[in-house]
Amino acid sequence: MASNAAPDVVSMHYSVISDYSSRGLLIPLDDLLASQEIKPGDFSDASRGGVTKEGKMFGLPFDNWTMLFHINMNLMKEAGLVNADGTPMLPKSEEDFFTLGKKFKDATGKPYLVQIYANETAAYTRIFYTLMQQQNYDFFADPAKINLQGPEAKAAVEFMKKINTEGLSTVDMDYSAAVSGFSSGKGGIAVNGTWLIGDFDAQSKEDGNALSGGYTVYPVPQFMAAKDSTYVDGHGWVIPRGDRDEEKMEAIGKLFKFLKDNDFEWARTGHLPAVKAVFDMDALQEPAPSRQHREDFPDRRIPAR
């Protein structure tokens, strides 16, 4: 973009589309999508909202993702943190988190959480935003002067800091180390994204590893009392502003139609679908044989793949 040689199509996180669209660097796609009979109503509310700015769609929604609690049930059983129905005991408040976390650490000698600490800022931000949202605080009310220094922000940071000072999280792990650390049983709960469900689930079906017969996944629990909320993002396909003839725009439209029509195939990589019809497909709804049920959070269930 800086060299005026932008590509024709770019995959972009919903969370940064506003930065580009507000500076006129992306073109609205409403007419292009309509030419391919792609309707806004084809997409989930979350994905459509991620690409819609000031009433215009600036991207083709492709997926949604969020941070999750990936849980080693073998270690949870060792710690005595399993309910009578076989589901994990999960915290329902900040105080509850430290009670369960300490019990887990005392029983297993391992940290409660496996987190990405080194060479990372995004994972911190997503959890920080989640804790702010759970306090029902509109910290982006004024986009020209974002307020991250109120009591809500302090409460969120103090919670995150206490997790570290109480020794309830792994430290000094970058992304790769955190993923392999959870896979090898170095902690009870990996705080990471939807895209890892398939890999961890597959590992749990194999014998002789830390997750064998003992993996499940839940949304990040509600720690703050005001609101049940979790930070969500996703990927959309955008078109940078530039000179393109009708033939090229038509080709881009056909590509977008193909991507929309095959959203299920992309969802198989571990991202939640953007197209509403995909959620009704038997192949998406049918739970994997070893997948734990999540009755504790029926309204926040992650669709099994």
pLDDT, position 140: 87
Structure tokens at 100: 């369960």
Q: Residues 62-77: what's their mean pLDDT?
A: 97
pLDDT, position 291: 36
**Per-residue pLDDT at 298 exceeds 50:** no
Q: Does residue 236 contact residue 12 with C-beta atoms inside 8 Å?
A: yes
Nearest CA among 75, 97, 124, 72 for reference residue 221? 97
Nearest CA among 23, 33, 18 for reference residue 1? 23
Buried-state track 123-146, b at ≥16 Cβ within 10 A, e below 16: beebbbbbbbbbbebebeeeeeee
| Amino acid of residue 249 | M
Percent of the chain topping pLDDT 90: 82
Structure tokens at 168: 């309830």
Q: What is the pLDDT of residues 80-138, one digit of tens each?
A: 999 999 999 999 999 999 999 999 999 999 999 999 999 988 998 999 999 999 999 99
Q: What is the pLDDT of residues 225-237, one digit of tens each?
A: 999 999 999 999 9
Q: What is the pLDDT of residues 200-218, one digit of tens each?
A: 999 999 999 999 999 999 9
Q: Does residue 103 contact residue 81 with C-beta atoms inside 8 Å?
A: yes
* Average per-residue pLDDT for the chain: 91
